[in-house]
Chains A and B, each alone.
Chain A
Amino acid sequence: MTVDQPKYKTSDEVDFVIVGSGAAGGILAKELSTNGFRVVVLEQGPYLTEADFTHNEIEILALDKLTNHPKLQPTTVRKTPDEKAKPQRALVYGRCVGGTSVHFTANFWRFHEIDFNERSKVGPIAGANLVDWPITYADLEPYYTKVEWEIGVSGLAGASPFDPPRSKPYPMPPLPVKSSGVIFERAARKLGWHPYPAPMAILSQARAGRSACVNCGFCLGFGCEVGAKSSSLVAAIRVAERTGRCEIRPNSYVHRIETDANGRATGAVYFDEKRNTHLQKAKAVVVCANGAETPRLLLLSANKQFPNGLANSSGIVGKNLMFNSGGVVTGQFEHPLNDYKGYAVSRVLHDFYELDPQKVGFCGGGGLDARFDFTPISFAFGGLPPGTPRWGKDFKAALAQDFNRTMEIFCHGTSLPVENNSFSLDPDLKDAWGLPALRLTYKDHPDDLKLGNWLFGRANELFDAAGATKKWSFPPGEQQFGVHLLGTCRMGNDPKTSVINPDHRTHDVKNLFLCDGSSLVTSGRGQPTMTIEALAFRAADRITALAKRGEISA
């Protein structure tokens, strides 16, 4: 689909250059261009559309058509800062217009009040850098509602007694329940728990020129070929383009924010597809490159004036990384669930969102969801019980018996912020453009592992109550790989302990704003994208107000 866009010259000082077009960048592009500003969005990946979103498991999953590529963008991994990091894939994120929102599962939970004030409620946690947010749930509530209505979330208000207060119901009813959801709901109720229809950023009804979900079954990991999944691509970028003030420039890999003698950002430097370098000038820069690439870009932008990296006077850029804890318990049932049909998750429960640390012996909480997120090939490699032969007659028989009879309970939980957990620049390894590669340092806080084990216990109880014929899991281990990339440029009022203020403005550079998973102060209980998008709507309001008061260009 082609939409007429303006073509700005790089020398043309636009109002905002936005780095990244994902969950946050897409919404900021929509809001700022709608508010009358001239916007250029620089996206490192290609501009793909529905016609590119096939069911080709090899192209999409194995060859990373929609995601960062480990050969072009290698990473290194270690557990603690005194180790030498080894080359290993550390993360997956969306690398196309729309970013990770193109391929995500689309679980859209709001954070609860506790996620904003947990430090005040539970006190200090040894080994964790847990602090309260400078904003509250009430501050963000109107923007959660905005996400539900403007981006498109299906769900049932009031169905979970643990839900935080809301100002409006969901704009659409929940998607149809799956067999995994019914099994989960019945068993959870037997146990006295409170399952409810999962809030999903997938349309249950046609809306805003987009189709309702057609239950094709190629959902997690894939782009939606009918525009039902509420990605930034279909729900925000296209609105931004229709303003006539927003240019989306794909294949543009930003690797430096330029600053002037006054310490102000002047624009973003990027490689185009042919690796020519350009500087897109702008009155202000908004970085929405995700919780790994945003801190990397600030560190890559170090110069004489900012020797530790841009906006890093605190020294915490890249630190306090949170992945979310948890894992999967898998179960099998007597009759076919046919859960390969439809989207991934139809039922959730939040009875364990807020646990009492005195009783359970750790800080944090979580949610359980009922899902099947395998496609046929990925099931053959990851969905069979341990001990199944890897090939031959018995392997084939297991595939034939199990593909339709399997479901998963995904346990999602808190990751506590730990200062050593970080993304930084690898001192040796370079990416395909010759830039320092991302280095992951990560060792889960002991409470996160205790929480994961505790949630696994609940998932096992649930499978027992459901009458599963078989169930298995791998105990939650230390994580070396992330898809939720949170907390690395956290928000706060104190420039010594945070990177951005509550307006998403960096403490150090007045016309530089950051908004994405890096802004989060806590990890929530496992589903961050809804909050990233609510923050983006709120950031757009704050940035617009600042600009209209003349407080950005001054």
Chain B
Amino acid sequence: MNELSRRNFLLRTGTGLSAAWITANWPALLSAATHAHDAAKAATPPKFEFFTPEEAVEVEAITARIIPTDETPGAREAGVVYFIDHGLVTFGADDQKAYREGLPELQARVKEIFASASKFSGLTAEQQDAVLHSFDEGGPTARRAFRARPGAQNFFDTVRLHTIQGFLIDPEFGGNRDAIGWKVIGREREHIFQAPFGYYDKDYPGWQSAAKEADKT
């Protein structure tokens, strides 16, 4: 659902939305919608903006080990490499260096570990994992912070960060093609929701005061 259809959707459903609010905000909504619509169209570019086609194959192969394709789709099907490529010439330009230096290093590491191989994408899945493990410095799961603000420490961390972002971001913003990532984690794509939301609130009888509870027992 692109920005335009999302706004239309909001209008059509009218769930809790004040018509007066929509009227008052329509010019701003329309302007944002047009902008996002253009951005969405540009978000899956026909050709790469930062990577060479060869580099893109290597990067996509890494993303496919971070979020592999198994019974359900993975980073490859979600078009994560396109998200990364576009990101590196827009909001993520600061990370260009990590890829410029990291890809040759990857190449070298592949040759170091598997003397007969030349490209990461040419290795088996097990071999690829072995190469990536040699990059992954690991460390404990991040503590819960006010907001999870992952800090990428090295090339592998950077690709891991971008892969997860590209897999799970709202599809309006150039990744998570067809909301594949959201399907995998069980998130519905709808823009707005109504209660009941889940298993435990679906049969909630409504608020009863503690005094009433006490009467029953």
Q: Is the interface of A mostly helix, strand, loop or mixed?
A: loop
* Least CB separation from B132: chain A residue: A391
Task: Find chain A residues with CB under 8 A from B164 CB.
Answer: 377, 380-381
B44 within 8 A of A: no
- By the criterion CB–CB under 8 Å, are B148 and A378 in contact? yes
8 A Cβ contacts from A214-235 to B: 214-217, 221, 226-228
Question: Is A126 an interface position by the 8 A CB rule?
Answer: no
Listed by A's residue number, 23 A-B pairs whose Cβ atoms lie within 8 Å are A1-B24, A50-B29, A54-B32, A55-B170, A179-B200, A180-B200, A189-B213, A211-B17, A214-B15, A215-B194, A327-B144, A341-B198, A342-B193, A381-B142, A381-B150, A381-B164, A387-B141, A388-B141, A390-B136, A391-B160, A396-B184, A400-B72, A400-B186
The yes or no answer to A140 lying at the interface (CB within 8 A) is: no
The stretch from B49-57, B99-107, B113-121, B204-212 touching chain A is B204-212
Chain A count of residues within 8 A CB distance of the other chain = 85
**Which residue of A52, A182, A210, A216 contacts B18 across the interface (Cβ within 8 Å)?**
A210
Q: How far is the CB of A97 from chain B (nearest CB, A)?
A: 14
Task: Select from chain B the residue with minimum beta-carbon distance to A160.
Answer: B210
CB of B12, distance to nearest CB on chain A (Å): 13
On whether A161 and B210 interact (CB within 8 A), knowing A182-B201, A216-B191, A396-B74, the answer reads yes
Q: Which residues does chain B contribute within 8 Å of A403, judged by CB atoms?
A: 185-187
Chain B residues within 8 Å of chain A by Cβ, number: 71
B91 adjacent to A58 (CB under 8 Å): yes
- Asked, given contacts A189-B210, A206-B16, A378-B147, whether A384 binds B141 with beta carbons under 8 Å apart, the answer is yes
- Which residues of the other chain, A, contact B194 by a CB distance below 8 angstroms? 176, 215
Query: Chain A contacts of B182 at CB under 8 A?
Result: 376
Q: Is B66 an interface residue, CB under 8 A from the partner?
A: yes
CA distance A180 to B200 in the complex (A): 8
Query: Which one of B132, B147, B201 lies within 8 Å of A61 (CB-CB)?
Result: B147
Can you list, as one digit per residue, whether each of B157-185 has a CB less than 8 Å from chain A (1) or not (0)? 00010011100111011000000011011
A394 CB to closest chain B CB (Å) equals 10
Kindly state the separation between the CA atoms of A376 and B175 in the bound complex, as whole angstroms: 13
Greatest chain A CB density within 10 A among B147, B173, B192, B194 is at B147
Tell whether, in the assembled complex, residue B136 and residue A211 are in contact, meaning their CB atoms are under 8 Å apart. Answer: no
Chain B residues near A384: list those with CB within 8 A: 141
- Beta-carbon contact of B186 and A336 below 8 Å: yes
Residues of B with C-beta under 8 A to A383: 148
Q: What is A's interface to B at a CB cutoff of 8 Å?
A: 1, 49-52, 54-59, 61-63, 92, 156, 158-159, 161, 174, 176-183, 189, 194, 197, 205-206, 209-217, 221, 226-228, 327-328, 330, 333, 335-342, 374, 376-388, 390-393, 395-396, 399-400, 403-404, 474, 481, 483
Q: Report the minimum CB–CB distance from A148 to chain B (whole Å).
A: 18
* Cα–Cα distance between A181 and B209 once the two chains are bound (Å): 15
- What is the bound-complex CA distance between A498 and B141, given in angstroms? 43
Which residues of chain A have C-beta atoms less than 8 A from B201's C-beta?
176-179, 181-182
Residue contact B136 to A212, C-beta cutoff 8 Å: no
Closest to B163 in A: A391
Q: Which A residue's beta carbon lies closest to that of B157?
A: A390
B39 to chain A, nearest CB (A): 10
A335: which B residues are within 8 A, CB to CB? 198-200
Q: Is B109's CB within 8 Å of the partner chain A?
A: no
Q: Are B173 and A391 in contact (CB under 8 A)?
A: no
Interface: B8 (CB within 8 A): no
Whether B65 sits at the interface, judged by CB under 8 Å, is yes
| Cβ-defined contact, A52 with B147, below 8 A | no
Extra pairs beyond A179-B199, A210-B21, A381-B148 (5, CB < 8 Å): A56-B172, A390-B141, A391-B65, A399-B185, A400-B186
CA distance A227 to B17 in the complex (A): 10
Q: A226-B21, A336-B198 are in contact. Are A54 and B172 (CB under 8 A)?
A: yes
Most chain B beta-carbon neighbours within 10 Å: one of A221, A335, A396, A400: A396
Docked-complex contact B149 and A61, CB < 8 angstroms: yes
- In whole angstroms, what is the CA distance A161 to B213 when docked? 14
Q: Is there contact, CB below 8 Å, between A339 and B197? A: yes
Nearest Cβ in chain B — how far from A250, in angstroms?
16
By the criterion CB–CB under 8 Å, are B68 and A393 in contact? yes
Q: Is there an interface contact between B18 and A336, defined as CB atoms closer than 8 Å?
A: no
Chain B contacts for A63, CB-based, 8 A: 91
Interfacial chain A residues near B207, Cβ < 8 Å: 156, 159, 174, 177, 197
Bound complex: CA of A42 vs CA of B95, how far in Å? 34
* In the assembled complex, B143 has its CB within 8 A of some CB on chain A: yes
Q: Which 5 A-B pairs have the closest CB atoms?
A: A382-B148, A335-B199, A179-B198, A176-B195, A51-B32
Using Cβ atoms and an 8 Å threshold, which residues of chain B touch A227?
A: 21, 25
Give A51 to B35 CA distance when docked, in angstroms. Answer: 10
Whether B68 pairs with A392 at a CB distance below 8 angstroms is yes
In the complex, A226 Cα to B164 Cα: how many Å? 28
Q: Chain B residues near A205 (CB, 8 Å)?
A: 16
| Contact residues of B between 62 and 99, Cβ < 8 Å to A | 65-68, 70, 72, 74, 87, 91
A161 to B214, CA, bound (A): 14
User: A221's contact among B66, B141, B144, B147, by CB below 8 Å, is which?
Assistant: B147
CA distance A178 to B24 in the complex (A): 31
| Residue in B17, B138, B144, B188 whose Cβ sees the most chain A Cβ within 10 Å | B144
Interchain CB contact under 8 A, B199 and A399: no
Beta-carbon contact of A55 and B172 below 8 Å: yes
Closest to A398 in B: B185
Q: Inside 8 A of B168's CB, which chain A residues have their CB?
A: 57, 376-377, 380
